[in-house]
A = this chain, B = another copy of it.
Amino acid sequence: MKNNRYSFLMALSAFMLISTAAMAQAFVTAPPAPRNGEARPAFRFPPRIISPEVHADQTVTFRFMAADATTVELSGQFLKKNIPLTKGEDGVWSVTTGKVKPDIYPYNFVVDGISVADPNNVDIFPNERFKGSLLDVKGKTPSVQDLQAVPHGKITYSFYHSKNLGLERPMLVYTPPGYTEDTGKSYPVLYLIHGMTDTHETWYVVGRMNYILDNLIAQGKAEPMIVVMPYANPYPALMKKNPQTQMDLMSTKLFTDELTKEIIPYIEGKYRVKASRENRAIAGFSLGGRQTLGAGLGHPELFAYVCPMAPAVFGQGLDESFQNDYAPIDQLKTLKLLWIGCGKDDSLYAGAQALEKKLKKEGVKYEKLYSSGGHTWMNCRLYLATIAPKLFK
Interface size class of chain A, counting residues whose CB lies under 8 Å from the partner chain: 35 or more
Residues of B close to A195: CB separation below 8 A? 6, 10
Residues of B close to A312: CB separation below 8 A? 10-11, 14
- Are B122 and A247 touching (Cβ within 8 A)? no
Question: By DSSP majority rule, is chain A's interface helix, strand, loop, or mixed?
Answer: loop
Residues of B close to A348: CB separation below 8 A? 7, 10-11
Of B6, B21, B236, which contacts A243 at CB under 8 A?
Answer: B21
A376 nearest CB neighbor, chain B only: B3
CB distance from A204 to the nearest CB of B (A): 8
**If A1-B108, A9-B196, A246-B17 touch, does A120 touch B128 (CB 8 Å cutoff)?**
yes
CB distance from A304 to the nearest CB of B (A): 27
**If A6-B375, A10-B375, A119-B115 touch, does A155 touch B152 (CB 8 Å cutoff)?**
no
Q: Which stretch (A157-165, A254-262, A274-282, A327-335) binds chain B?
A: A157-165
Residues of B close to A114: CB separation below 8 A? 66, 69, 111-112, 114, 116
- Are A316 and B39 touching (Cβ within 8 A)? yes
Is A15 engaged at the interface, CB distance under 8 Å to the other chain? yes
Q: Give a binary string over A339-358; 1 marks a CB under 8 Å from any B CB, 0 the rest.
A: 00001011110000000000
Residues of B close to A140: CB separation below 8 A? none
A8 nearest CB neighbor, chain B only: B347
CB distance from A259 to the nearest CB of B (A): 19
Contacting residues of chain A (1-35) with chain B, CB-CB under 8 angstroms? 1-4, 6-11, 13-21, 24, 35
Is A248 engaged at the interface, CB distance under 8 Å to the other chain? yes
Q: Give a binary string over A66-88; 1 marks a CB under 8 Å from any B CB, 0 the rest.
A: 11110000011101011000000
- Are A156 and B156 touching (Cβ within 8 A)? yes
Copies in the complex: 2
Of B38, B157, B168, B290, which contacts A317 at CB under 8 A?
Answer: B38
**If A77-B1, A147-B168 touch, does A13 touch B157 (CB 8 Å cutoff)?**
no
Whole-angstrom distance between the alpha carbons of A14 and B196 in the complex? 8
Of B4, B11, B15, B129, which contacts A9 at CB under 8 A?
Answer: B129
Of B7, B9, B13, B128, which contacts A122 at CB under 8 A?
Answer: B128
Residues of B close to A19: CB separation below 8 A? 244-247
Is A187 engaged at the interface, CB distance under 8 Å to the other chain? no
Residues of B close to A129: CB separation below 8 A? 9, 48, 119-120
- Are A250 and B36 touching (Cβ within 8 A)? yes
Whole-angstrom distance between the alpha carbons of A37 and B317 in the complex? 7
Whole-angstrom distance between the alpha carbons of A79 and B310 in the complex? 44
Residues of B close to A21: CB separation below 8 A? 243-244
Please name 7 pairs of A and B residues whose Cβ atoms are closer than 8 Å in the assembled complex, sorted by A: A4-B375, A36-B317, A69-B112, A69-B114, A111-B112, A112-B112, A120-B129
**Residues in A lying within 8 Å of B, measured CB to CB:** 1-4, 6-11, 13-21, 24, 35-39, 48, 66-69, 75-77, 79, 81-82, 106-108, 111-120, 122, 124, 126-132, 147-149, 152-159, 161, 168, 180, 183, 195-197, 199, 204, 210, 236, 239, 243-250, 270, 286-287, 290, 310, 312, 314, 316-317, 320, 343, 345-348, 373-376
